[in-house]
Amino acid sequence: MRGQISFLILCCVFLFSSNAYSQLINLAEIQLKSYPGIKKDGRNWDTWGGPHPDVYLIISDSNGEVVYNSRRNYVKNLSNEDLPHSFYPNSSISFTRIYYLEFYDLDDNTEDDLILRLRVIPSEFKGVTNKIFHEGRHTATVYVTPK
Ligand SMILES: [Ca+2]
Ligand SMILES: [Ca+2]
């Protein structure tokens, strides 16, 4: 009897934890489709070394916790003609949070420039495997897989 109860408790713990696990999805691919060709002040992303930005992606949740950062593998001089460009974060995100995709231009001597910031609501992926997020006319398509 005691063994059976222990077994039942174990089953409950397993069910509960597997249910918690299903609240996560995997960010498989982020395809940047377009970004502003120039800065808000009308100048090029870079003054030296060509006008195009050196792009990397940071994904963080609304508490500021970073789940992905590709700065060390930035894409040098990415022009709009090179788009779409794919990032493969392979990062888990939770249905219970909101996330931000921030595309930056890496700069050596000044603070990196924010190019595009997209808000992602994971629960919008219920029943679909990809979705387009946009800021104005600039978009990225996000592909998810089950976790
Ligand atoms: Ca710059
Ligand atoms: Ca740069």
Domain ranges of the chain: 24-146
Provide the pLDDT for residue 82.
Answer: 94
Give the total residue count for the chain. Answer: 147
Which of 82, 75, 40, 45 lies closest to 57 in space, CA to CA?
Answer: 75
Q: Please give the distance, rounded to the nearest whole angstrom, from the Cα atom of residue 67 to the centre of ligand 2.
A: 23
Provide the pLDDT for residue 118.
Answer: 97
Check whether domain 24-146 has CATH 2.60.40.1110, yes or no: yes
Provide the pLDDT for residue 47.
Answer: 85
Residue 84 binned pLDDT confidence (cut-offs 50, 70, 90): very high
Residue 94's contacts (CB-CB under 8 Å, 6 or more residues apart) are 23, 24, 61, 122
Q: Please give the distance, rounded to the nearest whole angstrom, from the Cα atom of residue 88 to the centre of ligand 2.
A: 21
Residue 3 binned pLDDT confidence (cut-offs 50, 70, 90): low
Q: pLDDT at residue 2 above 80?
A: no
Residue 48 binned pLDDT confidence (cut-offs 50, 70, 90): confident
Strands (E), the chain: 24-32, 55-61, 66-69, 85-87, 91-94, 99-105, 113-120, 130-135, 138-146
Residue 85 CA to residue 131 CA, distance in Å, equals: 16
CA 74 centroid distance within chain? 15
Q: pLDDT at residue 4 above 80?
A: no
Residue 132 binned pLDDT confidence (cut-offs 50, 70, 90): very high
Provide, rounded to the nearest whole percent, the portion of the chain with pLDDT above 90.
75
Q: Please give the distance, rounded to the nearest whole angstrom, from the Cα atom of residue 39 to the centre of ligand 2.
A: 12
Ligand closest in space to the Cα of 111: 1
Q: pLDDT at residue 61 above 50?
A: yes
Q: Are 129 and 143 in contact (CB under 8 A)?
A: yes
pLDDT in tens, 88-124: 999 999 999 999 999 999 999 899 999 999 999 998 9
pTM confidence score? 0.84
Ligand closest in space to the Cα of 45: 1
